[in-house]
Amino acid sequence: MKIKSADFLTAAISLGTCPPPDQPEIAVIGRSNVGKSSLINAFVNRKGLANISKQPGRTQTINFFTINQTWRLVDLPGFGFAKVSKTNRERFGKMISAFLSKRQNLAAVLVLIDSNIPPQQIDLDFTQWLMGEGVPFVLVFTKVDRVSTAKATTNIEAFTASMAEFSDNVPMVFPTSSATKFGIADLHQLVHQVITQKLRKRGKDDDVESEDEEQDDDEDEDEA
């Protein structure tokens, strides 16, 4: 996938203020400091794009970026938010879980995990929850340039081994580095596939052919 354009669309404070679900979305989530902003910037190849999500008032919102005018990258608030009160944490936890389990145009979630450290229970619990909800996701391990390949591999394997304890199908794994761009091309490829599939499916479901719906020749749903 070539990123031709990437534009900040909006910051939503609740599910009700999210944009209409009329384009496929890829959500990105991970614990604070996992390297989410860096990864988003590397992915879209724009230095400061995800820094919008770090502006005061926007760290706890769901931030939407329109990519190539056809799909959206959704930056979800980092979990394990140290600076937020317990009540707020619960509110945001609810908002994020509702978004992940209910958003109908969600094509996939990139779950970011730090490759430099052994598996963390909070990340494992989160992936288990996603599995239970049937949310499609892949594991993106960040910062692989910061440790030896052997160490990153050990941490990644330990994570997937722990996941295998509660699930038969471990998701796809992407080791990445925003610093060296390692693995970013693989992510582009994955996102391209997932978005194309979602657009095709939407075309079938809604009888909508493409973004330019100038034609109004009502083909009627011919469902096989």
Question: Hey, which residues between 131 and 150 contact ligand GDP (CB under 6 A)?
Answer: 142-143, 145-146
The minimum distance between CB 54 and ligand GDP, in angstroms, equals 7
34 touching ligand GDP, by CB under 6 A: yes
60 binds ligand GDP (CB under 6 A): no
Minimum distance from residue 37 beta carbon to ligand GDP (Å): 3
Q: Provide, rounded to whole angstroms, the least separation between the CB of residue 184 and ligand GDP.
A: 10
> Which listed residue (37, 60, 61, 127) binds ligand GDP by CB under 6 A?
37
> In the 3-class helix/strand/coil scheme, how is the chain assigned residue by residue?
CCCCCEEEEEEECCHHHCCCCCCCEEEEEEECCCCHHHHHHHHHCCCCHHHHHHCCCCCCCEEEEEECCCEEEEECCCECCCCCCHHHHHHHHHHHHHHHHHCCCEEEEEEEEECCCCCCHHHHHHHHHHHHHCCCEEEEEECHHHCCHHHHHHHHHHHHHHHHCCCCCCCCEEECCCCCCCCHHHHHHHHHHHHHHHHHHHHHHHCCCCCCCCCCCCCCCCCC
Considering only residues 171 to 200 of the shown chain, the ones binding ligand GDP according to CB under 6 A are 177-179
* 25, 26, 29, 38: residue in contact with ligand GDP (rule CB under 6 A): 38
Among residues 32, 69, 149, 189, the one that binds ligand GDP under rule CB under 6 A: 32
**Contact footprint for ligand GDP (CB under 6 A):** 30, 32-38, 78, 142-143, 145-146, 177-179
